[in-house]
A and B are shown apart, each in its own frame.
Chain A
Amino acid sequence: MSEFLQQVVNGLALGSIYALIAIGYTMVYGVLRFINFAHSDILMLGAFAAFFLAPKAQAIFGAESVLGAISVILLSALICAAIGMLIEYLAYRPLRDRPKLTVLITAIGVSLLIEFGCQHPAVFGPNPKAFPKLFPAADYHLQGLTISTNDMVVLGSTLVLLGALWFMVQRTKVGAAMRAVAFNHHAAALMGINVSRIISLTFAVGSALAAVAGILYALKAPAIEPLMGIQPGLRAFIAAVVGGIGNLPGAALGGLLLGALETFAGGIPGVSNYRDGIAFAILILILLFRPAGLLGKLQHEKV
């Protein structure tokens, strides 16, 4: 029983990271109707930003301080928000009225550019780097259950961010504008909404969430490297589709579900070797039986 609960804790921790990334995918899909393949690389850039900022924060706040960790995470999120807006401005905005496929291919191009640009020795280099400890780590034992501060930070920050995002989207003017743009670009523009600014902002919010997720992921992973974003990025994308793409609660649900399933599959001998394939198998099954995802609504194409 305790082993089962342990797996639940691990699954929730992994799943909430997926959920944070998945929300970025879903938000961008909501306003622009395309998969931002570069999202998984923003996550990597977030981890690297934290990697370079951490020594600076240590010099100011002292080693492994909570204040230092928070400032590192916030600054990395800001940097990634700026990068996300920049990518949208340079690569996706010129293609706004072009066919979907063109934008999708461009997104793949941007993703490859970031991945291989960062692998170049002049940037980060291809070798893995040990990620610094941002805050004091400890394990808490509770009736045979081990919960690390790491897991608690992951779960806590995911909850806080999801709450903040929900508030922003549902209760503020900007959030209403975002929902309007997602619903219909042209009508939103007619209502006096600056569509380009809202799209830019969506990229900023999504990228900031990805940066936080990247740092949380890096804290669990042994090391960071320029291709580290691909696997969690793909999982998160699948989570977004499973939950119903364009649907925020769906993305969170999908992320948690996928994290849990993957953790449990990893614990079963024989199945664990196929871990990398499981997420895709789930995706294909979901798309076959519920093409719009668990919480999504199917939209029929109109002529």
Chain B
Amino acid sequence: MSGLGAKRFLLAAIAVSIVISAFSHRFNSYYLGVALDVGIAVILAVSLNLINGHTGQFSLGHAGFMASGAYVSALCTIHVLPLVDPRLQPVVFCASLLVGGLAAALAGLGVGIPSLRLRGDYLAIVTLGFGEIIRVVLQNMEIVGGASGLKGIAKLSTLAWVWAFAAVTIYTVAALVNSTYGRGFIAVHDDEVASSAMGINPTRYKVVAFVVGAFFAGIAGGLYAHHKQFLSPTGFDFMKSIDIVVMVILGGMGRTAGVAAAAVLLTVLPEFLRGFAEVRMIIYSLLIIGLMILRPQGLFSFGERRVKAS
């Protein structure tokens, strides 16, 4: 994606989402809900792809980042909205989303620092651990409702917000990876030892990947909170992280467009398969195993980037 084309894509996507959103009151609220879910899933999958795909790390804690963003931004709107003029609502919402994203980025920094010394499966288990710790802490915090969940969140997420942020996420990740600086992510993915010999600091790139990925996961969490209007710690468990990981694997690790497509597919498909809810995870797991053995580069990758196994 060239720089100019990418910027055009970003502006066009934001404009389209605002225009569609203006007519959103005419849509069936069920379809509207699914459309919001899709946008949130795209943000989550594309941001995880920066960590797991482009940089070649393996995070199993994306739901934890999402949770920190969701709770922080929900707390912001709950406590700030009653104090301000109703006309300022969108400003407060946007600010609280960003605060949530920053909180998640801080958590990402916390995970990124141990990753200085760990790789592969160790890192996977540490991120899993971080996700679980965040969940356990939330479960025991009375200020966020504890195990019974956080209620009374205003319904502020609209199509325009969600899809605009999805576009910003895709743009940021694609532009970052394709920039001169961002080549380093791919270098770290391909060979850590060789890239450090070339003067690239793998540790710094890994931490940056974690921080940026977590930031967008936090934004997705904030959008999710103001879409569902209810947060419960159990909604951000290990299985939620696995859901996002499956999107990234299915789309092809390190392929932004494929991952976004997989996020759409895996969010819409279960809606049609409501009657088969109990086999959904069985199909997911068979998909993972089958893909890894037969097509490790993902379903939606057609020579976008050379297949580098590392």
Give A contacts to B, CB under 8 Å.
34-35, 91, 94-95, 98-106, 108-113, 115-117, 119-121, 230, 234, 237-238, 241, 273-274, 276-277, 280-281, 283-284, 287-288, 291, 301, 303
Contact = CB atoms under 8 A, between A and B. Distances in A.
B48 to A, nearest CB: 13
A121 B277 CA distance: 12
A109 B288 contact: yes
A100 B120 CA distance: 7
24 contacts: A34-B121, A35-B125, A91-B293, A95-B293, A98-B292, A101-B58, A102-B292, A104-B58, A106-B293, A109-B287, A109-B289, A112-B281, A112-B285, A112-B288, A113-B285, A116-B278, A116-B281, A119-B278, A241-B125, A277-B133, A280-B130, A280-B133, A281-B129, A287-B117
Nearest to B146: A273
A91 B245 CA distance: 19
B296 A98 contact: yes
B132 A277 contact: yes
Contacts of B288: 105-106, 108-109, 112
> Closest 4 interchain pairs by CB?
A109-B288, A280-B129, A112-B285, A113-B285
A283 B129 contact: yes
Which of A99, A101, A277 is packed against the most chain B CB atoms within 10 Å? Answer: A101
B122 A287 contact: yes
A101 B122 contact: no
Interface string B126-159: 1011101100110110000000000000000000
Contacts of B242: 108, 112
Contacts, number: 117
A283 B126 contact: yes
A74 B145 CA distance: 47
A100 B132 CA distance: 24
B91 interface: no
Given A100-B121, A102-B292, A106-B292, A113 B282 contact: yes
Interface of B: 56, 58, 114, 117-118, 120-122, 124-126, 128-130, 132-133, 136-137, 139-140, 193-194, 238, 242, 245, 249, 278-279, 281-282, 284-289, 292-293, 296, 309-310
Contact of B114 (A102, A230, A284, A301): A284
Contact of B310 (A34, A99, A108): A99
Contact of A104 (B124, B140, B286): B124
A237 B125 contact: yes
Contacts of B293: 91, 94-95, 106
A283 B279 CA distance: 34
B296 A120 contact: no
Contacts of A121: 278
A241 B136 CA distance: 22
Given A274-B136, A284-B130, 10 more contacts: A101-B56, A102-B296, A109-B287, A112-B242, A112-B285, A116-B285, A117-B282, A120-B278, A280-B128, A283-B129
Nearest to A270: B140
A293 to B, nearest CB: 10
Contacts of B296: 98, 102
A277 B285 contact: no
A113 B129 contact: no
A280 B11 CA distance: 43
Nearest to B124: A104
Nearest to A275: B136
Given A106-B289, A109-B292, A287-B114, A120 B279 contact: yes
A63 to B, nearest CB: 35
Contacts of A288: 114, 117
